[in-house]
Chains A and B, each alone.
Chain A
Amino acid sequence: MSEEKYVPKSKLGQWFDSRLPLLTLAHHINDYPTPKNLNYWWTFGGILTFFLIVQIITGLVLAMHYVAHADLAFGSVEHIMRDVNYGWLIRYLHANGSSMFFLAVYIHIFRALFYGSYKAPREMIWIIGMLIYMLMMATAFMGYVLPWGQMSFWAATVITNLFSAIPLVGESITTWLWGGYAVGSPTLTRFFSLHYLMPFLIFGLVILHIWALHIPGNNNPVGIDIKQLSKETVPFHPYIIIKDLYALLIFLIIFSGFVFFVPNVLGHPDNYIEANPMITPTHIVPEWYLLPFYAILRSIPDKLGGVVVMFAAVFILMFLPWLDTSKVRSAVFRPLYKIFFWILVIDVIVLGYIGAKPPEGMYLIIGRIATIYYFVHFILIMPILGFKEKTKPLPLSISDPVLGDEDKLSSEKTMNNR
């Protein structure tokens, strides 16, 4: 992005900025040229940043009162809920905040899928984003273990047992993870330590994510490159800030609805029963945001196979920029991809639903079909579509969505079809 070099006005500012260019950074963020046709799907980056900060702050507060010991953890959570000043509020914010975080991240990811934001030259943004997503899942899982309810305990048992599928060393790895011969106090304490650490790693990656974004600049709903900065972009402040804020506030209303009126609806009742290593709940499930992957795990009738396929389902997303062969970014101009995109969305929702159901009968069959389709979408449909699909003509510029000069258009079209 071509920006004129910024020089602070005051002498002190110049002195400071030449040593630590914070003012240049602030100026850059302030004036960062953003495509003016961004729609509201682009506000979720800001919402996610906000929720990361909410989770870190409320988490810090909870850690001041929580005790990471198998005998005391459950009681200390009840202590937070009952005795600590505003403890109930802070815990419900943290618990529901994680769900809102995932809701926002899923919308963010599907937005990138729809508008092709992962394609060149934005591959690094996408890959860092996927790393963030994986760390988020690990963090959320470990956080879910901390209240030491029945679901916590058995989620920890099941997830750590995934590693026992590894040939030869599996057994020793699980023992190493647990710090014992089953999930217990040592496991809880190390999970707490890691749960505390990971958000800061995420925070670091978020900085890289935004850095990587500011090199090529934002993608946009039309998916074509910016041609004229002055005409097609607006400065980040105040245009994008106020829009992000507006969307954030609406999101916060939904968040408040959960926190204040149905704070436990996204949790599982069994997690209010203290962990008992002798009784497994009749039906154990992870939190809703992990259900699609859980469904994939269970649809494979082999221990090692299930684990491999489940991890593959996450890692395959990393290779998306190269699996998608189409030169056109935005699905707006890709009629076939648009259909397949929505089929994928439905497929993932179906997987989520299947993940919540017991693995038997019809559920198992539907789960297997949905799992197969998930991989088919990325491995077969996406690469083939890039070659076969007839895309719609692209506009000349983002500020001019109406079709422009016929000659230029056709030349561009042939270029895109190649």
Chain B
Amino acid sequence: MQKKFKNIFKVLCISPLLIIFINLSVAAEVSRIDLLKTNWSFEGIFGKFDRSALQRGYQVYNEACSSCHSIQYLSYRNLTEKGGPEFSEEQAKEIAASFEVMDGPNSEGEMFTRPGRLSDQFIKPYPNIEAAKFANGGAYPPDMSVLVKARKDGANYIYSLILGYEDPPAGFEIEDDVYYNKYMPGNQIKMPKVLNKGLVEYADGTEATEQQMAKDVVTFLTWASEPHLEARHKTGFKVILYLLVLVALVYFSMKKIWSRIETKQ
């Protein structure tokens, strides 16, 4: 029984790793450059978001990204929720009210605009995808709600991408309105470099370097993709702890029950 168990334990450990390996090899055909790395507070088993980074990240999104990129599955109320940027209700209301939201029809059948409320979704820069494409030279600035999950190694990839603008190497043909980016597949991107030093002025006095802004906005986008990440990590830790204790109890119960048989031989 003991020996067989070791075998099965090996299989149970190896097979998930094998599956993950095969699965990850899926996207490996894209010639990979090593992405820029930084320390993310949300990585690891106990990973949590850095509250102030999220708040700063929102500011960067709002001032630098939101004129082209929508983030349609977020609502202003999310800004106050636990595990998110945790703005106070007043702050979030103020943020929401600073946007004009289309509402209606009213009793006369007309659409009208009003200041945003917490229950409203983040307003979109363009009414539809076609308009967004038209305004951006044919390239659609992707919605950012789940962008981090929609790219392989999303956080590091987006972090690298927004810092990856360079002059094209000699002999690299590039059209007008297209920019050279080290981390974009194919190295050509329609989005210009946005983050320049001092682009935003942080309320908490943090210096707005390119790296700082990139890190903050990627933290914000990661939260936007996975708003329950903290709850997930916390619950997961408790669940596994519980299972370990229960496994121990069941194991000894099993030994006890089976001892009636095995000693009999």
| Direct interface between A and B, CB < 8 A | yes
**Which residues of A does B touch, CB under 8 Å?**
36, 39-41, 75, 78-79, 81-82, 88-89, 92, 99, 103, 107, 234, 238-239, 242-243, 245-247, 249-254, 256-266, 268-270, 272-273, 282-283, 285, 288, 291, 349, 352-353, 356-358, 399
Q: Are B4 and A246 in contact (CB under 8 A)?
A: no
Question: In the assembled complex, which residues on chain A have CB atoms less than 8 Å from the CB atom of B78?
Answer: 82
Docked complex: B11-35 residues within 8 A CB-CB of A: 11-12, 15-16, 18-20, 22-27, 29-30
Interface of A is mostly: helix
Q: Are B23 and A266 in contact (CB under 8 A)?
A: yes
Query: When chains A and B are docked, how far (Å) is the Cα of A356 from the Cα of B78?
Result: 38
Can you list 28 contacts pairing A with B, beta carbon distance less than 8 Å? A40-B8, A41-B8, A78-B146, A79-B73, A88-B231, A88-B232, A103-B16, A239-B257, A239-B258, A242-B253, A243-B258, A246-B250, A249-B247, A249-B250, A250-B12, A253-B244, A256-B239, A265-B23, A268-B23, A268-B27, A269-B150, A269-B154, A270-B150, A272-B150, A273-B142, A283-B26, A288-B23, A357-B25
Q: Is B243 an interface residue (CB 8 A)?
A: yes
Q: Is B222 an interface residue (CB 8 A)?
A: no
Q: A260-B237, A266-B19 are in contact. List 20 more A-B contacts (CB 8 A).
A: A39-B1, A40-B1, A40-B7, A41-B8, A78-B73, A79-B73, A103-B19, A239-B258, A239-B261, A247-B8, A250-B9, A257-B236, A260-B232, A260-B236, A261-B45, A265-B23, A268-B27, A272-B225, A282-B30, A283-B27
Q: How many of B's residues come within 8 Å of A, CB to CB?
A: 55
Task: Report the nearest B residue to A263, measured CB to CB.
Answer: B232
Q: Are B20 and A107 in contact (CB under 8 A)?
A: no
Q: Is B240 an interface residue (CB 8 A)?
A: yes
Contact with A along B231-261 (1 / 0, CB 8 A): 1110111011001101100110110011001
Q: Select A353's contact among B25, B225, B258, beta carbons within 8 Å.
A: B25
Q: Are A291 and B22 in contact (CB under 8 A)?
A: yes
Query: When chains A and B are docked, how far (Å) is the Cα of A269 from the Cα of B19?
Result: 16
Q: Are A246 and B254 in contact (CB under 8 A)?
A: yes
Q: Are B18 and A349 in contact (CB under 8 A)?
A: yes
Query: When chains A and B are docked, how far (Å) is the Cα of A382 from the Cα of B216?
Result: 60
Number of residue pairs A-B, CB distance < 8 angstroms: 133
Q: Are B29 and A272 in contact (CB under 8 A)?
A: no
Question: In the assembled complex, which residues on chain B have CB atoms less than 8 Å from the CB atom of A247?
Answer: 8
**Which residues of B does A touch, CB under 8 Å?**
1, 4-5, 7-9, 11-12, 15-16, 18-20, 22-27, 29-30, 45, 73, 78, 142, 145-146, 149-152, 154, 225, 227-228, 231-233, 235-237, 239-240, 243-244, 246-247, 250-251, 253-254, 257-258, 261, 265
* Known interface pairs A239-B258, A246-B254; A269-B27 also in contact (CB < 8 Å): yes
The distance from the CB of A354 to the nearest CB of chain B, in whole angstroms, is 10
Q: Select B149's contact among A79, A239, A269, beta carbons within 8 Å.
A: A269
Q: Select B25's contact among A239, A270, A356, beta carbons within 8 Å.
A: A356
Q: Are B235 and A260 in contact (CB under 8 A)?
A: yes
Query: When chains A and B are docked, how far (Å) is the Cα of A358 from the Cα of B228?
Result: 35
Query: When chains A and B are docked, how far (Å) is the Cα of A36 from the Cα of B211?
Result: 63
Q: Are B243 and A288 in contact (CB under 8 A)?
A: no
The distance from the CB of A128 to the nearest CB of chain B, in whole angstroms, is 25
Q: Are A245 and B250 in contact (CB under 8 A)?
A: yes
* Known interface pairs A88-B228, A239-B257, A249-B243; A99-B149 also in contact (CB < 8 Å): no
Q: Are A272 and B227 in contact (CB under 8 A)?
A: no
The distance from the CB of B25 to the nearest CB of chain A, in whole angstroms, is 5
